[in-house]
Amino acid sequence: MERSASTAPPSHPRPGTRDFTLLWWANAADAVGTQASGAVLPLLLLGLGHPPQVVGLVAGVSTAIGLLIGPFVAVPVDRGARRRVMLGSATVSALAMGGVSLALTTGHPPLGLVLTAVLVERSATACFEAAARGTVALVCPAPEQPRAIARLAAADQGALIVGPALGGVLYQVARALPFLADALSYLVSALCVRAMRADLAAPTAPASPTAVAPAAPAPPASPTAPTARAELRVRLGEVLREGAAGLRLVRSSAQLRLVLVWSATVNVVVVTLYFGAVFALQRGGHGGAALGAVLAVSGAAGLAGALAAPRVAKRFGASRTVTVTTWLLVPLTAAPAALAPVAGAWAYGVLFGLVCLLMPMASVVLQARALQVTAPALQARTGAVLATATTGGASLAPVLAGVLADRVSPAAPAIACGVTLTLLAVHTSRRPLRDGRAAEVAG
């Protein structure tokens, strides 16, 4: 099932050419719009008089929808429906956010209308993300993919900085504007996808000679012939087996297992540390401005790390970059345990900035490797497995941070994160990422 960089079609455009540029703008516009509306959605719900429990329920249901929809959408995407799914999802999201914006201009919209539109938009966004996975492999040859992924990661980090700030400014002007901006961003994404010239249908294996032989005439019905219910069970089993192809590939590939374990673990650690810092800053009397400053520093550092990742990986190699980065993260994640009683916002800002600076240097290499060892016809399903593990683990991190901080000590989240990353660093040292031509990063 694995393939090397040498199997990539030489006719694929380089990053920076038309198709990749359109892909970059589609993802960047989507990310900025989503961050802009997502940042003010809690404020909107609270401003409409709904309790915090409703805000938390919306966030939890939105995350669950993404986890459930992604693996199912990945099957038709890998069968060739990538462009149609991306166009349809972006259009539906634009209509949903446009509906929220229009409803807000008319006064006090009912909660059911807002929640329905938000959940429709989140569902469509999950479909878009599932379809977008693996698109890089279809528009860029393998040697160019790490640099392309770094640029996409930089756009995501930039959206974390620009999106919330834009949403906050627009919300101050009129509460409907962030959602209108989100709707327009989806239209930009749809236009970019439509303008791409590359064939976004992943190539499949050629059919065997026996596969095109004329089908034998159906036998006459008999008491032992399969019933409609049995045929439905057979078809359902085929769909489930096809949907599980990505999981089987991850289980059989040591490289993909490392990508899954590393990404899921680091995301859990980062989210746990973030909420641990939130609790510590609140106990120290720091307000929202301090937390905003920490997020701004972290976002800027993540942007710099994503841009520097290709050059670092090219100089030191894929395996060494991942292993050394993981070990460097260990003391940075454990440091808040010592700082918790006395640290101010500046200390947390520096620590989170360093973590977010280092993390993309390994994650870009790992994402590129996942693309390079996955057949084009399995990109979406494999990506869905990796994304589900990563998002599912991160969704549990706030609960973990709260339990540790309340039941153990304020320093407990950082201690747990330090121990976890130490185990991960040992694992990456014993089972490192394989270096080779597929791991080389174009400068």
Joined together, the tokens standing for residue 128 give 């878009």
Outline where 284-343 has alpha helix (H). 288-316, 318-339
Distance of CA 182 to the CA centre of its chain: 18
How many residues are there in the chain? 443
What distance in Å separates the CA atoms of residue 424 and residue 261, rounded to the nearest whole number?
Answer: 8
pLDDT at 426: 93
Residue spans per domain, the chain: 14-140+163-201, 246-443
Q: What is the DSSP string of 330-357?
A: HHHHHHHHHHTTT--HHHHHHHHHHHHH
Tell me what pLDDT residue 231 has. Answer: 59
pLDDT at 3 over 70: no
Distance of alpha carbon 183 from alpha carbon 37, whole angstroms: 9
Asked whether 296 and 158 are in contact (CB, 8 A), the reply is: no
Contacts of 78 (CB under 8 A, 6+ apart): 134, 202, 377, 378, 379, 380, 381
The residue written with tokens 């916002």 in the block is 345
Percent of the chain at pLDDT > 90 equals 14
CA angle 8, 13, 19 (to 5 degrees): 120
Mean confidence (pLDDT) of the chain: 77
- pLDDT tens-digit series, residues 174-224: 888 999 999 999 999 999 999 988 888 765 543 333 333 333 344 444 444
Shared fold status for 14-140+163-201 and 246-443: yes
What's at 292, amino acid-wise? Answer: G
In 3D space, the residue among 375, 364, 383, 377 whose CA is nearest the CA of residue 433 turns out to be: 364
Q: Which fold has domain 246-443?
A: Growth Hormone; Chain: A; (1.20.1250)
42-45 long-range contacts, CB within 8 A, separation 24+:
43/171, 44/104, 44/114, 44/171, 44/175, 45/111, 45/114
How many Å apart are CA 76 and CA 85, to the nearest integer?
9
CA distance 16 to 29: 17
CATH class name, domain 14-140+163-201: mainly alpha
Q: What is the mean pLDDT of residues 44-68?
A: 72
| Helices and strands per DSSP (H, E), number in the chain | 15, 0
The pLDDT-based confidence of 240 (bands split at 50, 70, 90) is low
